Structure 1
Protein backbone atom coordinates (compact mmCIF):
# COMPACT_ATOMS: atom_id res chain seq x y z
CA UNK A 1 0.00 0.00 0.00
CA UNK A 2 2.84 2.33 0.88
CA UNK A 3 4.47 1.60 -2.49
CA UNK A 4 1.21 2.28 -4.35
CA UNK A 5 0.73 5.56 -2.47
CA UNK A 6 4.26 6.67 -3.28
CA UNK A 7 3.82 5.75 -6.95
CA UNK A 8 0.54 7.67 -7.13
CA UNK A 9 2.17 10.64 -5.48
CA UNK A 10 5.03 10.59 -8.02
CA UNK A 11 2.58 10.37 -10.94
CA UNK A 12 0.60 13.34 -9.61
CA UNK A 13 3.84 15.26 -9.14
CA UNK A 14 4.92 14.51 -12.75
CA UNK A 15 1.51 15.49 -14.14
CA UNK A 16 1.52 18.75 -12.23
CA UNK A 17 5.05 19.45 -13.47
CA UNK A 18 4.09 18.72 -17.09
CA UNK A 19 0.98 20.90 -16.83
CA UNK A 20 2.95 23.76 -15.32
CA UNK A 21 5.51 23.51 -18.12
CA UNK A 22 2.72 23.52 -20.72
CA UNK A 23 1.21 26.61 -19.15
CA UNK A 24 4.58 28.39 -19.17
CA UNK A 25 5.20 27.48 -22.82
CA UNK A 26 1.71 28.62 -23.77
CA UNK A 27 2.15 31.89 -21.93
CA UNK A 28 5.52 32.43 -23.60
CA UNK A 29 4.11 31.96 -27.10
CA UNK A 30 1.10 34.05 -26.24
CA UNK A 31 3.29 36.88 -24.99
CA UNK A 32 5.45 36.62 -28.12
CA UNK A 33 2.43 36.75 -30.41
CA UNK A 34 0.94 39.66 -28.52
CA UNK A 35 4.26 41.52 -28.62
CA UNK A 36 4.68 40.90 -32.34
CA UNK A 37 1.10 41.93 -33.00
CA UNK A 38 1.62 45.06 -30.90
CA UNK A 39 4.84 45.84 -32.76
CA UNK A 40 3.11 45.30 -36.09
CA UNK A 41 0.26 47.48 -34.93
CA UNK A 42 2.69 50.14 -33.78
CA UNK A 43 4.55 49.91 -37.08
CA UNK A 44 1.35 50.38 -38.98
CA UNK A 45 0.20 53.26 -36.80
CA UNK A 46 3.62 54.90 -36.76
CA UNK A 47 3.39 56.06 -40.36
CA UNK A 48 -0.24 56.34 -41.48
CA UNK A 49 0.56 59.46 -43.49
CA UNK A 50 3.29 57.62 -45.41
CA UNK A 51 0.91 54.73 -46.16
CA UNK A 52 -1.69 57.16 -47.48
CA UNK A 53 0.93 58.97 -49.56
CA UNK A 54 2.15 55.68 -51.02
CA UNK A 55 -1.39 54.79 -52.06
CA UNK A 56 -2.08 58.13 -53.74
CA UNK A 57 -1.26 58.12 -57.45
CA UNK A 58 0.84 61.04 -58.66
CA UNK A 59 1.53 61.93 -62.28
CA UNK A 60 4.91 60.56 -63.45
CA UNK A 61 5.46 59.22 -59.93
CA UNK A 62 6.40 62.63 -58.57
CA UNK A 63 7.13 62.97 -54.86
CA UNK A 64 7.83 66.72 -54.63
CA UNK A 65 5.33 69.58 -54.96
CA UNK A 66 4.97 71.32 -58.30
CA UNK A 67 6.69 74.43 -56.94
CA UNK A 68 9.87 72.47 -56.12
CA UNK A 69 9.77 70.61 -59.43
CA UNK A 70 9.89 73.97 -61.21
CA UNK A 71 13.06 74.85 -59.32
CA UNK A 72 11.52 76.94 -56.58
CA UNK A 73 12.20 80.62 -56.05
CA UNK A 74 10.94 83.45 -58.21
CA UNK A 75 10.71 81.54 -61.53
CA UNK A 76 8.39 78.97 -59.94
CA UNK A 77 6.33 81.77 -58.37
CA UNK A 78 5.95 83.37 -61.80
CA UNK A 79 4.93 80.13 -63.52
CA UNK A 80 2.41 79.29 -60.75
CA UNK A 81 1.00 82.84 -60.62
CA UNK A 82 1.85 83.38 -56.96
CA UNK A 83 2.17 87.09 -57.79
CA UNK A 84 -0.44 87.74 -60.45
CA UNK A 85 0.86 91.17 -61.42
CA UNK A 86 4.39 89.95 -62.09
CA UNK A 87 3.19 86.84 -63.95
CA UNK A 88 0.77 88.86 -66.07
CA UNK A 89 3.50 91.42 -66.81
CA UNK A 90 5.99 88.76 -67.92
CA UNK A 91 3.42 87.00 -70.09
CA UNK A 92 2.23 90.33 -71.54
CA UNK A 93 5.78 91.36 -72.39
CA UNK A 94 6.42 88.02 -74.12
CA UNK A 95 3.16 88.41 -76.03
CA UNK A 96 4.16 91.92 -77.13
CA UNK A 97 7.53 90.67 -78.39
CA UNK A 98 5.85 87.84 -80.30
CA UNK A 99 3.30 90.21 -81.86
CA UNK A 100 6.02 92.67 -82.94
CA UNK A 101 8.33 90.08 -84.45
CA UNK A 102 5.79 87.60 -85.79
CA UNK A 103 2.68 89.57 -86.76
CA UNK A 104 4.10 93.03 -87.42
CA UNK A 105 7.29 91.38 -88.78
CA UNK A 106 9.64 93.69 -86.95
CA UNK A 107 13.35 92.90 -86.98
CA UNK A 108 15.42 92.86 -83.82
CA UNK A 109 17.91 95.53 -84.88
CA UNK A 110 15.10 97.78 -86.17
CA UNK A 111 13.17 97.41 -82.91
CA UNK A 112 16.23 98.25 -80.80
CA UNK A 113 17.04 101.32 -82.88
CA UNK A 114 13.46 102.62 -82.85
CA UNK A 115 13.21 102.09 -79.09
CA UNK A 116 16.45 104.01 -78.49
CA UNK A 117 15.34 106.83 -80.79
CA UNK A 118 12.03 107.16 -78.95
CA UNK A 119 13.67 107.09 -75.52
CA UNK A 120 16.36 109.64 -76.47
CA UNK A 121 13.79 111.96 -78.07
CA UNK A 122 11.55 111.91 -74.99
CA UNK A 123 14.46 112.56 -72.64
CA UNK A 124 15.89 115.33 -74.88
CA UNK A 125 12.55 117.15 -75.12
CA UNK A 126 11.94 116.74 -71.41
CA UNK A 127 15.35 118.23 -70.58
CA UNK A 128 14.88 121.25 -72.91
CA UNK A 129 11.27 121.84 -71.94
CA UNK A 130 12.24 122.28 -68.31
CA UNK A 131 14.01 125.58 -69.15
CA UNK A 132 10.79 127.07 -70.57
CA UNK A 133 8.70 126.22 -67.53
CA UNK A 134 11.31 127.55 -65.07
CA UNK A 135 12.18 124.22 -63.59
CA UNK A 136 15.52 122.58 -63.12
CA UNK A 137 16.32 119.89 -65.66
CA UNK A 138 15.73 116.37 -64.46
CA UNK A 139 18.65 114.48 -63.00
CA UNK A 140 19.11 111.20 -64.79
CA UNK A 141 20.36 108.36 -62.62
CA UNK A 142 23.53 106.53 -63.51
CA UNK A 143 22.55 103.31 -65.22
CA UNK A 144 25.06 100.49 -64.89
CA UNK A 145 24.88 96.73 -64.67
CA UNK A 146 26.00 95.50 -61.25
CA UNK A 147 28.88 93.08 -61.36
CA UNK A 148 27.36 90.56 -58.96
CA UNK A 149 24.21 90.23 -61.07
CA UNK A 150 26.17 89.63 -64.27
CA UNK A 151 28.44 87.10 -62.54
CA UNK A 152 25.43 85.38 -61.00
CA UNK A 153 23.69 84.99 -64.36
CA UNK A 154 26.89 83.78 -65.99
CA UNK A 155 27.49 81.29 -63.18
CA UNK A 156 23.92 79.99 -63.40
CA UNK A 157 24.26 79.53 -67.17
CA UNK A 158 27.58 77.78 -66.67
CA UNK A 159 26.06 75.32 -64.18
CA UNK A 160 23.10 74.54 -66.44
CA UNK A 161 25.33 74.05 -69.50
CA UNK A 162 27.67 71.76 -67.56
CA UNK A 163 24.74 69.68 -66.33
CA UNK A 164 23.40 69.41 -69.88
CA UNK A 165 26.83 68.27 -71.09
CA UNK A 166 27.00 65.63 -68.34
CA UNK A 167 23.55 64.34 -69.29
CA UNK A 168 24.47 64.20 -72.97
CA UNK A 169 27.68 62.36 -72.10
CA UNK A 170 25.81 59.77 -70.02
CA UNK A 171 23.26 59.28 -72.82
CA UNK A 172 25.94 58.95 -75.51
CA UNK A 173 27.89 56.41 -73.42
CA UNK A 174 25.28 53.77 -74.27
CA UNK A 175 24.61 52.65 -70.69
CA UNK A 176 20.90 53.48 -70.68
CA UNK A 177 19.10 52.46 -73.86
CA UNK A 178 15.68 53.70 -72.73
CA UNK A 179 16.97 57.19 -71.99
CA UNK A 180 18.79 57.26 -75.33
CA UNK A 181 15.64 56.29 -77.24
CA UNK A 182 13.56 58.80 -75.25
CA UNK A 183 15.95 61.65 -76.05
CA UNK A 184 16.11 60.70 -79.74
CA UNK A 185 12.30 60.54 -79.91
CA UNK A 186 12.03 63.92 -78.16
CA UNK A 187 14.48 65.56 -80.53
CA UNK A 188 12.66 64.04 -83.49
CA UNK A 189 9.34 65.48 -82.25
CA UNK A 190 10.96 68.90 -81.73
CA UNK A 191 12.39 68.77 -85.26
CA UNK A 192 8.91 68.09 -86.64
CA UNK A 193 7.46 70.98 -84.64
CA UNK A 194 10.32 73.20 -85.82
CA UNK A 195 9.44 72.43 -89.43
CA UNK A 196 5.84 73.51 -88.81
CA UNK A 197 6.58 76.72 -86.87
CA UNK A 198 9.53 79.03 -86.66
CA UNK A 199 11.68 79.30 -83.56
CA UNK A 200 9.99 82.38 -82.12
CA UNK A 201 6.48 80.94 -82.38
CA UNK A 202 7.62 77.63 -80.91
CA UNK A 203 9.43 79.40 -78.07
CA UNK A 204 6.40 81.59 -77.35
CA UNK A 205 4.09 78.55 -77.37
CA UNK A 206 6.31 76.77 -74.85
CA UNK A 207 6.44 79.96 -72.76
CA UNK A 208 2.65 80.18 -72.68
CA UNK A 209 2.39 76.49 -71.78
CA UNK A 210 4.80 77.04 -68.89
CA UNK A 211 2.51 79.80 -67.63
CA UNK A 212 -0.70 77.76 -67.96
CA UNK A 213 -0.14 73.99 -67.60
CA UNK A 214 1.74 74.00 -64.24
CA UNK A 215 -0.75 76.49 -62.78
CA UNK A 216 -3.78 74.46 -63.86
CA UNK A 217 -2.19 71.21 -62.71
CA UNK A 218 -1.25 72.69 -59.33
CA UNK A 219 -4.82 73.89 -58.88
CA UNK A 220 -6.58 70.70 -60.02
CA UNK A 221 -3.87 68.11 -59.32
CA UNK A 222 -6.19 65.66 -57.50
CA UNK A 223 -8.62 65.52 -60.41
CA UNK A 224 -5.84 65.31 -62.99
CA UNK A 225 -4.03 62.55 -61.09
CA UNK A 226 -7.24 60.55 -60.74
CA UNK A 227 -7.95 60.87 -64.46
CA UNK A 228 -4.36 59.94 -65.39
CA UNK A 229 -4.51 56.93 -63.09
CA UNK A 230 -7.59 55.65 -64.88
CA UNK A 231 -6.00 56.40 -68.27
CA UNK A 232 -2.81 54.55 -67.32
CA UNK A 233 -4.80 51.53 -66.11
CA UNK A 234 -6.76 51.48 -69.38
CA UNK A 235 -3.56 51.76 -71.44
CA UNK A 236 -2.00 48.86 -69.52
CA UNK A 237 -5.17 46.84 -70.07
CA UNK A 238 -5.18 47.48 -73.80
CA UNK A 239 -1.46 46.74 -74.01
CA UNK A 240 -2.07 43.43 -72.22
CA UNK A 241 -4.76 42.52 -74.76
CA UNK A 242 -2.46 43.54 -77.61
CA UNK A 243 0.38 41.52 -76.12
CA UNK A 244 -1.78 38.40 -75.81
CA UNK A 245 -3.38 38.67 -79.25
CA UNK A 246 -0.43 39.95 -81.30
CA UNK A 247 2.93 39.92 -79.56
CA UNK A 248 2.55 36.43 -78.11
CA UNK A 249 1.98 35.03 -81.61
CA UNK A 250 5.19 36.48 -83.03
CA UNK A 251 7.69 33.61 -83.51
CA UNK A 252 10.53 35.13 -81.54
CA UNK A 253 12.42 31.84 -81.21
CA UNK A 254 12.55 31.22 -84.97
CA UNK A 255 13.71 34.78 -85.59
CA UNK A 256 16.48 34.40 -83.05
CA UNK A 257 17.59 31.15 -84.67
CA UNK A 258 17.69 32.83 -88.06
CA UNK A 259 19.79 35.76 -86.91
CA UNK A 260 22.02 33.61 -84.67
Structure 2
Protein backbone atom coordinates (compact mmCIF):
# COMPACT_ATOMS: atom_id res chain seq x y z
CA UNK A 1 0.00 0.00 0.00
CA UNK A 2 2.81 2.37 0.84
CA UNK A 3 4.43 1.66 -2.53
CA UNK A 4 1.15 2.38 -4.37
CA UNK A 5 0.75 5.63 -2.43
CA UNK A 6 4.29 6.70 -3.35
CA UNK A 7 3.62 5.97 -7.01
CA UNK A 8 0.42 8.03 -6.90
CA UNK A 9 2.28 10.93 -5.27
CA UNK A 10 5.10 10.85 -7.85
CA UNK A 11 2.56 10.73 -10.71
CA UNK A 12 0.69 13.70 -9.24
CA UNK A 13 3.93 15.67 -8.84
CA UNK A 14 4.96 14.97 -12.44
CA UNK A 15 1.51 16.05 -13.62
CA UNK A 16 1.75 19.30 -11.66
CA UNK A 17 5.21 19.98 -13.11
CA UNK A 18 3.88 19.53 -16.66
CA UNK A 19 0.96 21.88 -15.97
CA UNK A 20 3.28 24.54 -14.51
CA UNK A 21 5.61 24.26 -17.51
CA UNK A 22 2.68 24.75 -19.87
CA UNK A 23 1.54 27.80 -17.91
CA UNK A 24 5.04 29.28 -18.00
CA UNK A 25 5.31 28.63 -21.71
CA UNK A 26 1.96 30.31 -22.32
CA UNK A 27 3.00 33.34 -20.24
CA UNK A 28 6.30 33.65 -22.08
CA UNK A 29 4.58 33.39 -25.46
CA UNK A 30 1.98 35.99 -24.46
CA UNK A 31 4.66 38.36 -23.20
CA UNK A 32 6.67 37.89 -26.38
CA UNK A 33 3.55 38.56 -28.45
CA UNK A 34 2.91 41.73 -26.46
CA UNK A 35 6.45 42.88 -27.05
CA UNK A 36 6.06 42.06 -30.76
CA UNK A 37 2.91 44.15 -30.88
CA UNK A 38 4.83 47.09 -29.44
CA UNK A 39 7.53 46.73 -32.08
CA UNK A 40 6.79 47.93 -35.64
CA UNK A 41 6.11 45.28 -38.25
CA UNK A 42 8.91 44.37 -40.68
CA UNK A 43 6.98 45.97 -43.56
CA UNK A 44 6.62 49.26 -41.67
CA UNK A 45 10.29 49.17 -40.68
CA UNK A 46 11.33 48.69 -44.31
CA UNK A 47 9.01 51.45 -45.49
CA UNK A 48 10.41 53.87 -42.92
CA UNK A 49 13.93 53.24 -44.23
CA UNK A 50 13.01 53.82 -47.90
CA UNK A 51 14.13 57.20 -49.22
CA UNK A 52 11.29 59.35 -50.50
CA UNK A 53 11.74 62.47 -52.59
CA UNK A 54 11.30 65.68 -50.55
CA UNK A 55 10.67 63.55 -47.43
CA UNK A 56 7.29 62.37 -48.71
CA UNK A 57 5.39 60.17 -46.24
CA UNK A 58 1.96 60.14 -47.92
CA UNK A 59 0.79 59.12 -51.40
CA UNK A 60 1.22 61.67 -54.17
CA UNK A 61 -2.53 62.28 -54.38
CA UNK A 62 -2.74 63.25 -50.69
CA UNK A 63 0.41 65.37 -50.92
CA UNK A 64 -1.22 67.42 -53.68
CA UNK A 65 -4.32 68.06 -51.58
CA UNK A 66 -6.45 65.05 -52.43
CA UNK A 67 -9.19 67.20 -54.01
CA UNK A 68 -10.46 67.90 -57.50
CA UNK A 69 -7.27 69.72 -58.48
CA UNK A 70 -5.21 66.65 -57.57
CA UNK A 71 -7.62 64.46 -59.56
CA UNK A 72 -7.13 66.66 -62.62
CA UNK A 73 -3.34 66.81 -62.30
CA UNK A 74 -3.00 63.05 -61.71
CA UNK A 75 -5.48 62.19 -64.51
CA UNK A 76 -8.02 60.47 -62.26
CA UNK A 77 -10.68 61.64 -64.75
CA UNK A 78 -9.06 61.52 -68.16
CA UNK A 79 -11.80 63.48 -69.93
CA UNK A 80 -11.58 66.49 -67.60
CA UNK A 81 -7.76 66.42 -67.54
CA UNK A 82 -7.59 66.19 -71.33
CA UNK A 83 -10.11 69.04 -71.63
CA UNK A 84 -8.10 71.29 -69.32
CA UNK A 85 -4.86 70.50 -71.13
CA UNK A 86 -6.52 71.00 -74.51
CA UNK A 87 -7.94 74.36 -73.43
CA UNK A 88 -4.54 75.54 -72.24
CA UNK A 89 -2.97 74.40 -75.51
CA UNK A 90 -5.64 76.24 -77.53
CA UNK A 91 -5.02 79.45 -75.58
CA UNK A 92 -1.26 79.13 -76.11
CA UNK A 93 -1.76 78.59 -79.84
CA UNK A 94 -4.06 81.63 -80.07
CA UNK A 95 -1.85 83.99 -78.11
CA UNK A 96 1.60 82.74 -79.10
CA UNK A 97 1.42 81.24 -82.57
CA UNK A 98 -1.48 83.27 -84.01
CA UNK A 99 -0.41 86.36 -82.03
CA UNK A 100 -3.91 86.98 -80.73
CA UNK A 101 -4.34 89.46 -77.87
CA UNK A 102 -6.20 88.79 -74.64
CA UNK A 103 -8.38 91.91 -74.68
CA UNK A 104 -9.24 91.33 -78.33
CA UNK A 105 -10.23 87.73 -77.62
CA UNK A 106 -12.40 88.73 -74.65
CA UNK A 107 -14.12 91.46 -76.66
CA UNK A 108 -14.83 89.11 -79.58
CA UNK A 109 -16.24 86.44 -77.27
CA UNK A 110 -18.49 89.01 -75.57
CA UNK A 111 -19.66 90.39 -78.93
CA UNK A 112 -20.61 86.93 -80.23
CA UNK A 113 -22.30 85.93 -76.97
CA UNK A 114 -24.33 89.12 -76.61
CA UNK A 115 -25.35 89.10 -80.28
CA UNK A 116 -26.46 85.47 -80.10
CA UNK A 117 -28.56 85.96 -76.94
CA UNK A 118 -30.00 89.24 -78.26
CA UNK A 119 -31.12 87.71 -81.55
CA UNK A 120 -32.45 84.61 -79.80
CA UNK A 121 -34.47 86.70 -77.32
CA UNK A 122 -36.06 88.82 -80.08
CA UNK A 123 -36.63 85.93 -82.47
CA UNK A 124 -38.39 83.83 -79.82
CA UNK A 125 -41.57 85.93 -80.23
CA UNK A 126 -41.77 85.10 -83.96
CA UNK A 127 -40.94 81.38 -83.77
CA UNK A 128 -43.09 80.74 -80.67
CA UNK A 129 -40.28 79.43 -78.50
CA UNK A 130 -39.25 80.30 -74.99
CA UNK A 131 -36.57 82.87 -74.43
CA UNK A 132 -33.09 81.70 -73.43
CA UNK A 133 -32.48 81.40 -69.71
CA UNK A 134 -29.52 83.61 -68.84
CA UNK A 135 -28.30 82.76 -65.33
CA UNK A 136 -27.20 85.44 -62.91
CA UNK A 137 -23.46 85.08 -62.39
CA UNK A 138 -21.89 86.48 -59.23
CA UNK A 139 -18.73 85.71 -57.26
CA UNK A 140 -19.49 84.49 -53.71
CA UNK A 141 -17.95 86.67 -51.04
CA UNK A 142 -16.79 83.70 -48.92
CA UNK A 143 -14.97 82.08 -51.84
CA UNK A 144 -13.28 85.35 -52.76
CA UNK A 145 -12.18 85.87 -49.14
CA UNK A 146 -10.79 82.32 -48.96
CA UNK A 147 -8.73 82.86 -52.11
CA UNK A 148 -7.47 86.21 -50.83
CA UNK A 149 -6.58 84.70 -47.45
CA UNK A 150 -4.68 81.80 -49.04
CA UNK A 151 -2.83 84.22 -51.32
CA UNK A 152 -1.94 86.43 -48.34
CA UNK A 153 -0.54 83.44 -46.42
CA UNK A 154 1.64 82.38 -49.36
CA UNK A 155 2.92 85.94 -49.90
CA UNK A 156 3.79 86.29 -46.20
CA UNK A 157 5.57 82.92 -46.28
CA UNK A 158 7.60 84.03 -49.31
CA UNK A 159 8.47 87.33 -47.63
CA UNK A 160 9.59 85.48 -44.48
CA UNK A 161 11.76 83.18 -46.58
CA UNK A 162 13.36 86.13 -48.37
CA UNK A 163 13.95 87.85 -45.04
CA UNK A 164 15.69 84.77 -43.60
CA UNK A 165 17.86 84.44 -46.69
CA UNK A 166 18.80 88.13 -46.75
CA UNK A 167 19.71 88.07 -43.05
CA UNK A 168 22.40 85.46 -43.74
CA UNK A 169 21.08 82.79 -41.38
CA UNK A 170 21.19 79.87 -43.82
CA UNK A 171 23.98 79.80 -46.40
CA UNK A 172 22.75 76.60 -48.03
CA UNK A 173 19.27 78.03 -48.59
CA UNK A 174 20.83 81.24 -49.92
CA UNK A 175 22.86 79.36 -52.52
CA UNK A 176 19.83 77.24 -53.50
CA UNK A 177 17.62 80.29 -54.09
CA UNK A 178 20.35 82.11 -56.01
CA UNK A 179 20.88 79.08 -58.25
CA UNK A 180 17.12 78.72 -58.83
CA UNK A 181 16.71 82.39 -59.74
CA UNK A 182 19.70 82.21 -62.06
CA UNK A 183 18.24 79.17 -63.88
CA UNK A 184 14.85 80.90 -64.09
CA UNK A 185 16.44 84.03 -65.57
CA UNK A 186 18.17 81.93 -68.24
CA UNK A 187 15.00 80.01 -69.11
CA UNK A 188 12.92 83.22 -69.24
CA UNK A 189 15.42 84.73 -71.71
CA UNK A 190 14.66 81.90 -74.12
CA UNK A 191 10.88 82.50 -74.19
CA UNK A 192 8.23 84.95 -72.99
CA UNK A 193 6.06 84.68 -69.91
CA UNK A 194 3.14 82.95 -71.68
CA UNK A 195 5.32 80.19 -73.11
CA UNK A 196 7.03 79.74 -69.76
CA UNK A 197 3.66 79.50 -68.02
CA UNK A 198 2.48 76.95 -70.60
CA UNK A 199 5.62 74.85 -70.15
CA UNK A 200 5.08 74.86 -66.36
CA UNK A 201 1.44 73.88 -66.92
CA UNK A 202 2.49 70.96 -69.13
CA UNK A 203 5.07 69.81 -66.60
CA UNK A 204 2.45 70.02 -63.85
CA UNK A 205 0.20 67.67 -65.83
CA UNK A 206 2.94 65.17 -66.71
CA UNK A 207 5.63 65.02 -64.00
CA UNK A 208 3.32 64.08 -61.05
CA UNK A 209 1.70 61.30 -63.08
CA UNK A 210 5.04 59.84 -64.13
CA UNK A 211 6.34 60.11 -60.56
CA UNK A 212 3.27 58.40 -59.13
CA UNK A 213 3.67 55.53 -61.60
CA UNK A 214 7.44 55.05 -61.22
CA UNK A 215 8.01 56.46 -57.72
CA UNK A 216 10.25 53.58 -56.54
CA UNK A 217 12.73 53.98 -59.39
CA UNK A 218 12.70 57.78 -59.21
CA UNK A 219 13.21 57.76 -55.42
CA UNK A 220 16.15 55.37 -55.77
CA UNK A 221 17.78 57.59 -58.39
CA UNK A 222 17.04 60.72 -56.31
CA UNK A 223 18.69 59.13 -53.26
CA UNK A 224 21.90 58.52 -55.21
CA UNK A 225 21.76 62.06 -56.60
CA UNK A 226 21.28 63.56 -53.12
CA UNK A 227 24.26 61.61 -51.79
CA UNK A 228 26.42 62.90 -54.63
CA UNK A 229 25.18 66.49 -54.16
CA UNK A 230 25.94 66.36 -50.43
CA UNK A 231 29.40 65.01 -51.15
CA UNK A 232 30.13 67.77 -53.66
CA UNK A 233 28.76 70.39 -51.26
CA UNK A 234 31.02 69.06 -48.49
CA UNK A 235 34.03 69.39 -50.79
CA UNK A 236 32.96 72.91 -51.80
CA UNK A 237 32.43 73.83 -48.15
CA UNK A 238 35.85 72.52 -47.16
CA UNK A 239 37.72 74.21 -50.01
CA UNK A 240 35.82 77.50 -50.41
CA UNK A 241 33.18 78.34 -47.84
CA UNK A 242 35.22 77.43 -44.78
CA UNK A 243 38.01 79.76 -45.93
CA UNK A 244 35.76 82.83 -46.14
CA UNK A 245 36.63 85.12 -43.20
CA UNK A 246 33.77 85.87 -40.88
CA UNK A 247 33.65 88.46 -38.14
CA UNK A 248 33.10 87.43 -34.52
CA UNK A 249 29.53 87.38 -33.34
CA UNK A 250 28.99 89.71 -30.43
CA UNK A 251 26.38 88.73 -27.93
CA UNK A 252 24.04 91.41 -26.75
CA UNK A 253 24.38 92.26 -23.09
CA UNK A 254 21.25 91.88 -21.08
CA UNK A 255 20.61 94.41 -18.34
On whether the aligned pair clears a TM of 0.5, the verdict is yes
Q: How does 1:88-237 map to 2 (within 5 A)?
A: 88-229=82-223, 235=228
Contact kept, 8 Å, 2:117 with 2:132, in 1: the verdict is: no
In 2, Cα distance between equivalents of 1:166 and 1:256: 26
SS at match of 2:125: helix
Whichever structure has more helix as a proportion of its residues is 1
Quote how far apart the aligned CAs of 1:225 are: 2.4
Determine the structure 1 residue equivalent to 2:56. 62
Count of residues paired in the alignment: 216
In 2, Cα distance between equivalents of 1:195 and 1:79: 28
In 1, Cα distance between equivalents of 2:191 and 2:171: 30
Determine the structure 2 residue equivalent to 1:17. none
Gaps of 5+ in 1: 1-33
Quote how far apart the aligned CAs of 1:176 are: 0.7
Quote how far apart the aligned CAs of 1:178 are: 0.3
Quote how far apart the aligned CAs of 1:128 are: 2.0
Determine the structure 2 residue equivalent to 1:84. 78
CA-atom RMSD in angstroms? 3.5
Quote how far apart the aligned CAs of 1:91 are: 1.4
In 1, Cα distance between equivalents of 2:134 and 2:240: 81
- Identify if the C-alpha distance between structure 1 residues 236 and 205 changes in structure 2 by more than 3 Å, giving closer, same or farther: closer
- Identify if the C-alpha distance between structure 1 residues 196 and 237 changes in structure 2 by more than 3 Å, giving closer, same or farther: closer
Contact kept, 8 Å, 2:121 with 2:132, in 1: the verdict is: yes
Quote how far apart the aligned CAs of 1:77 are: 1.9
Q: TM-score, normalised by structure 1?
A: 0.70
In 1, Cα distance between equivalents of 2:183 and 2:229: 24
Gaps of 5+ in 2: 1-27, 246-255
Quote how far apart the aligned CAs of 1:45 are: 4.6
Quote how far apart the aligned CAs of 1:144 are: 1.7
Q: TM-score, normalised by structure 2?
A: 0.72
Task: Give CA deviations for 1:36-87 in whole Å, capped at 9, x if unaligned.
Answer: xx69x74895342331113323234432322233233222222111222222
SS at match of 1:46: coil
